[in-house]
């Protein structure tokens, strides 16, 4: 597993996560983070198929379709993480979030909407342990993706 201290995300991607979280209220929004390593090139919102207001489960069919689509991209990109929102709760992984974190190398971004302003935080969750990551807002995430031409 790769140790990382920060995740690189473009400001417009962060704005997209927040906008999706606000649209989904009062339910949790969810989606995937696509890029390479600790660099997020873009996000892909997906349908939350979980019942209730305080859980999320990304639609498995959309997850599979995204994986298939990513195989066709040049330069190659991959799912590097997942995001979801906490419409009323803390911007920290819940016990359920921690228990259901099945991909130890994935970045987990949580968008908190409990206050007046949205709070966006990133984490790595491995075997029940949570480690917060700094978010480095980069202006041109594409040029920082290994193997890309910056286009």
pLDDT at residue 44 is higher than 80? yes
Structurally, how many domains does the chain consist of?
A: 1
**DSSP H helices in 54-111:** 60-70, 95-99
User: What is the domain-level CATH number for residue 128?
Assistant: 3.40.140.10
Is 123 a member of any domain? yes
Residue 12 and residue 20 in contact, taking contact as beta carbons nearer than 8 Å: no
Per-residue model confidence (pLDDT) at position 138 = 87
Residue 137 pLDDT level (bands cut at 50, 70, 90)? confident
Q: What values do phi and psi take at 11, rounded to 5? A: -55, -40
Strands (E), the chain: 6-9, 30-36, 39-46, 78-86, 107-112, 119-126, 129-137
Residue 85 and residue 112 in contact, taking contact as beta carbons nearer than 8 Å: yes
pLDDT in tens, 13-26: 999 999 999 999 99
pLDDT in tens, 66-84: 999 999 988 889 999 999 9
Is 147 a member of any domain? no
81/43 Cα distance (integer angstroms): 9
Q: Which domain holds residue 42?
A: 6-142
């Amino acid at each position: 597993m790769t140790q990382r201290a920060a995740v690189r995300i473009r400001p417009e991607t962060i704005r997209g996560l927040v906008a999706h979280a606000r649209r989904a209220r009062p339910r949790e929004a969810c989606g995937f983070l696509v890029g390479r390593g600790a660099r997020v090139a873009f996000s892909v919102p997906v349908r939350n198929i979980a019942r209730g207001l305080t859980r999320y489960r990304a639609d498995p069919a959309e997850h599979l379709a995204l994986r298939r689509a990513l195989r066709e991209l040049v330069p190659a990109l991959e799912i590097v993480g997942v995001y979801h929102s906490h419409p009323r709760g803390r911007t920290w992984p819940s016990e359920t979030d921690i228990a259901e974190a099945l991909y130890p190398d994935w970045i987990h971004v949580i968008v908190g909407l409990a206050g007046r302003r949205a709070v966006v935080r990133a984490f790595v969750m491995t075997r029940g342990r949570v480690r917060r990551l700094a978010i480095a807002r980069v202006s041109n995430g594409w040029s920082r993706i290994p193997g890309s031409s910056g286009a």
